Amino acid sequence: MRQFDRRQFLSGLGVTLALPWLESLAMAAAPRPKRLVCVGNHLGFYPGNFFPKTAGRDYVPTSTLKPLDKHRDDLTVFSHLDHGLNGGHRAVQGFLNSIKKEESAGFPLKNISLDQAAAEHVGSATRFPSVNTGIVNGTDMCWTRAGVHVPPVNNPAKLFRALFVNSPANERAAERTRLKHRGSVLDALRESAGALNRTLNAADRHKLDQYLTSVRDVERRLQMSREWLDRPKPKSPIVEVLDEERQHIDEMALFYDLMALALQTDSTRVATLETGMGFRTSELDLAGYHAISHHGKAEDRIGQLQVIESFLTTKLGGFIDRLKEAQIFDHTLIVFGSGMSDGSIHSNRNLPVLLAGGGVKHQGHLVCPSDPHQRVPLANLWLSVLHWFGSEAKRFGRSTGTFSPMKIG
């Protein structure tokens, strides 16, 4: 069936105004793209503030979940899921991949993270395969298949310019020359590596193969950059975000707004937001977040954690509101949580995790087996998320299969 383009409908009259979404034309339109958003908080969430006491849809919301209560039919909270990792802060970077960096050499895709696996599936269909943002020092949450860390953008003005401000012609010409030069260098490296491969032993050939994987990853990104270099960017529906002094966490709502716009304009279909070790805010008059996370079961500090953690989920709730207003929430799956559980004891077990949106049949509070012999790896859930996104991956990280307790993929 011929696809219906709402902009082309009026092109014969010289009119560029887009028609609104009309349900009667939905059958003629292409399938609506799926989107993935991953939000990670380095210092975790205090378990008593996060996990409900009862399972199912009728749970009583905890202080952390209360700001999301109006969306309870659209989310699932998971208990007893983790990657089996230890290491406190050093294991937090395994949240979206289930593999610590120092262990990654033994896995076919190293420690590629969930977002980057989804971004590979998108390829060059959007200007940015992924948009990665972060506040303060990030959680080192995002990793390519070559085991390279993807640093988050921590300046909202820079992100705005990347999404909506077209570069001048001379800058695009310089970038085109730079991309051509890098492509020539990669060609030479690949040819040299091919000739060298015949003289190496098995161990060195394995190292060389890992190196070539990195080269192929760079080549893929170069090709995508070339394809989008001269295409105009969408017009922003908001005024330009300017560089100015802000309290770090006050940028969270702005980053959420920009991620929503990036998804809405189909500039990307994969976005992440990382909250790092500590932050300041004009909205919260509290001591350092990292110090508070070491609560030692002191009631006053746990009370302060309630304030901080409900602040974080309030901002997430606002993001869900914006996606619903844009009518893309049912095609957007949100992963929210941390690679840290209880920051006071640096635990990486029973991680706080919830999913929202995506048109999934949500289950409220889903309690997985706590018996170590029956446990379900969190990586199984990530594999099902990738299947929902359209990937045909057979394994992901330490997965042992898809996530059978809940149909996602």
- For the stretch 168-208, pLDDT in tens is 767 656 656 665 555 555 566 666 666 666 676 766 766 66
Residues 264 and 294 in one domain: yes
> How many structural domains comprise the chain?
2
CB 332: neighbour CB atoms within 10 A?
A: 25
| pLDDT given at position 312 | 94
Q: What is the residue whose two structure tokens read 């039919």?
A: 73
Looking at the structure, tell me whether residues 63 and 147 fall in a common domain: yes
Q: Is there a domain that residue 237 lies in?
A: no
- Residues near 159 by beta carbon (within 8 Å), at least 6 away in sequence: 131, 133, 153, 241, 255, 258
User: 281 with 323, same domain?
Assistant: yes
Give me the torsion for CA of 79, 81, 87, 93, rounded to 10°: -110
CA dist., res. 303 & res. 299, Å (int):
6
Same domain, 190 and 96: no
pTM of the model: 0.82
Do 210 and 324 lie in one domain? The reply is: no
Which of the listed residues 208, 231, 254 is the one where a domain comes to its end? 231
Same domain, 49 and 100: yes
Average pLDDT, the chain: 83
Residue 134: in which H helix or E strand, if any? strand 131-135
With CA atoms as reference, report the closest residue to 346 among 44, 39, 41, 40: 44
Asked if 352 and 295 sit in the same domain, the reply is yes
Q: Is residue 396 part of a domain?
A: no
Q: How many CB atoms lie within 10 A of CB 195?
A: 8
Nearest Cα to 364, choosing from 52, 82, 80? 52
Q: Is residue 3 part of a domain?
A: no
For the chain, percent of residues with pLDDT exceeding 90: 53
Using pLDDT thresholds of 50, 70 and 90, give the confidence band for residue 27: very low
> Which range of residues forms the domain containing residue 172?
167-231
Q: Rounded to an integer, what distance in angstroms lies between the CA atom of residue 332 and that of residue 311? A: 22
Q: Answer yes or no: is 120 within a domain.
A: yes
pLDDT value, residue 112: 96
Give the Å distances, CA to CA, from 254 to 257, 260, 287: 5, 10, 23
Residue owning tokens 């937090």: 92
Tokens of 93: 């970077």
| Predicted confidence (pLDDT) per residue in 97-148, tens digit | 999 989 988 888 889 999 999 999 998 899 999 999 998 765 799 999 888 8
269 versus 305: which is more confidently predicted? Answer: 269
Say yes or no: 262 and 131 in one domain. Answer: yes
Q: Which pLDDT tens digit goes with each residue over 225-271?
A: 566 566 788 998 888 888 876 656 668 899 999 999 999 999 999 99
Coil, strand, or helix at residue 133? strand
69: in domain: yes
Per-residue confidence (pLDDT) for residue 200, from 0 to 100: 67
When pLDDT is cut at 50, 70 and 90, the band that residue 333 belongs to is very high
